[in-house]
């Protein structure tokens, strides 16, 4: 791909663009000067006949039509002078789509600054009780989070439910804000080699099912408890997870990536990598605070009344 940012390509685009415009102007001039030879009857036709009696006249283009062509050419040259279009030329205005986007963001931030100023001194718990803040938080959530977590925040397979109080990294306002600002990278490595053979893997899968009281083979679960030690470094000896690592609690019967022996075996064999993108570059500090309160309030309905 580095070949496409070589200075040659800028010159190439510039030359092709200008030659195309000049060619259009030249074609228009030649067409205006030349006339197709009339037929022998000298009746100002080209000699082309269709459907036995439809003859093509040899008339020049109407002046208004020629004028439109000329205006188009002049407009094209003026546009390329003012705006970027000739290779890497920035144009006289120095306009860029990124610059316009940033200007619109800055204007929007300035327009809503008085609104967010009222929320600046409020605690997360108070924001979660404020109807106006919650309305704004809901819109921020729908625009930036609902694509993964769903419009009702109940998530889906591979995407956490934000309304149930089960948090991989902790559900305090501070942790939620940290997640929004920095994003999260979840990584469970393949553990099959550490656990043992195929029989050991099934035993561990049955033990994991037993931790949450799910239907399981008790005999296999008993055999899998010792082998679960390979998983305890992240999920804990008791299987209750670790917020510092984002390791799920295996005892609460909440299954982020699916349920059952086959799903657990696939997880042990293949591992899993998940990512939540950081929002710090998309949302302002004030918006992050309001969104934090909204998300916190989803699983703390009692504290948000």
DSSP assignment of the chain equals -GGGGSHHHHHHHHHHHHHHHHHHHHHHHHHHH--PPP-TT-SSEEEEEETTTEEEE-PPPPHHHHHHHHHHHHHHHHHHHHSS-STT--TTT---HHHHHHHHHHHHHHHHHHHHHTTTT--HHHHTT-HHHHHHHHHHHHHHTHHHH-TTS--BTTB--SSSS--SS--SHHHHHHHHHH-EEEEE---HHHH-SHHHHHHHHHHHHHHTT-S--HHHHHHHHHHTHHHHHHH-TTS--BTTTTBPPSSS---SS--SHHHHHHHHHH-EEEEE---TTTS-HHHHHHHHHHHHHHT-TTTT-
Residue 40 scores a pLDDT above 60: no
Residue 265 scores a pLDDT above 90: yes
Residue 290 shares a structural domain with residue 146: yes
Decide if 90 is inside a domain: no
Decide if 166 is inside a domain: yes
Residue 272 shares a structural domain with residue 196: yes
Residue 293 shares a structural domain with residue 144: yes
Decide if 95 is inside a domain: no
Decide if 207 is inside a domain: yes
Please compute the mean of the pLDDT values over residues 100-129 and round it to a whole number. 90
Residue 263 scores a pLDDT above 70: yes
In this prediction the pTM is 0.71
Decide if 88 is inside a domain: no
How many domains does the chain divide into? 3
Residue 193 shares a structural domain with residue 267: yes
- Banded pLDDT at 305 (limits 50, 70, 90): very low
Residue 304 scores a pLDDT above 70: no
Domain harbouring 208, CATH code? 1.10.760.10
Domain of 272 in residue numbering reads as 187-276
Residue 93 scores a pLDDT above 60: yes
Residue 147 shares a structural domain with residue 290: yes
Residue 284 shares a structural domain with residue 171: yes
Residue 121 shares a structural domain with residue 258: no
Cα radius of gyration (the chain): 34
Residue 36 scores a pLDDT above 60: no
More confident residue, 195 or 33: 195
- Banded pLDDT at 6 (limits 50, 70, 90): confident
Decide if 261 is inside a domain: yes
Decide if 87 is inside a domain: no
- Banded pLDDT at 115 (limits 50, 70, 90): confident
Residue 155 shares a structural domain with residue 269: no
């Amino acid at each position: 791909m580095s070949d496409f940012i070589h200075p040659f390509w800028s010159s190439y685009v510039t030359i092709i663009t200008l030659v195309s415009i000049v060619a259009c102007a030249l074609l228009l001039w030649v067409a205006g000067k030349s006339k197709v030879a009339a037929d022998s009857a000298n009746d100002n036709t080209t000699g082309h006949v269709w459907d036995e009696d439809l003859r093509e006249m040899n008339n020049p283009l109407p002046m208004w039509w020629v004028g439109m062509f000329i205006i188009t050419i002049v407009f094209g040259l003026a546009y390329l002078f003012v705006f970027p279009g000739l290779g890497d030329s920035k144009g006289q205005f120095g306009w860029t789509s990124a610059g316009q986007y940033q200007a619109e963001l800055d204007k929007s931030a300035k327009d809503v600054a008085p609104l967010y100023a009222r929320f600046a001194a409020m605690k997360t718990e108070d924001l979660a009780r404020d109807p106006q803040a919650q309305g704004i938080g809901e819109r921020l959530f729908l625009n930036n989070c609902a694509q993964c977590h769903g419009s009702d925040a109940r998530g889906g397979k591979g995407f956490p439910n934000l309304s149930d109080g089960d948090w991989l990294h902790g559900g305090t306002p501070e942790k939620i804000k940290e997640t929004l600002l920095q994003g999260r990278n979840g990584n469970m490595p393949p553990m099959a080699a550490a656990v043992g053979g195929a029989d050991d893997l099934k035993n561990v899968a049955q033990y994991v099912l037993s931790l949450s009281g799910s239907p399981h083979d008790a005999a296999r679960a008993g055999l899998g408890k010792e082998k679960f030690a390979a998983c305890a470094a992240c999920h804990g000896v008791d299987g209750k997870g670790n917020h510092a690592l984002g390791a799920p609690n295996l005892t609460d019967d909440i299954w982020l990536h699916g349920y059952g022996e086959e799903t657990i075996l696939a997880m042990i064999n293949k591992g899993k990598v998940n990512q939540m993108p950081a929002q710090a570059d998309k949302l302002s500090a004030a918006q992050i605070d309001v969104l934090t309160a909204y998300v916190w309030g989803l699983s703390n309905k009692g504290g948000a009344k």
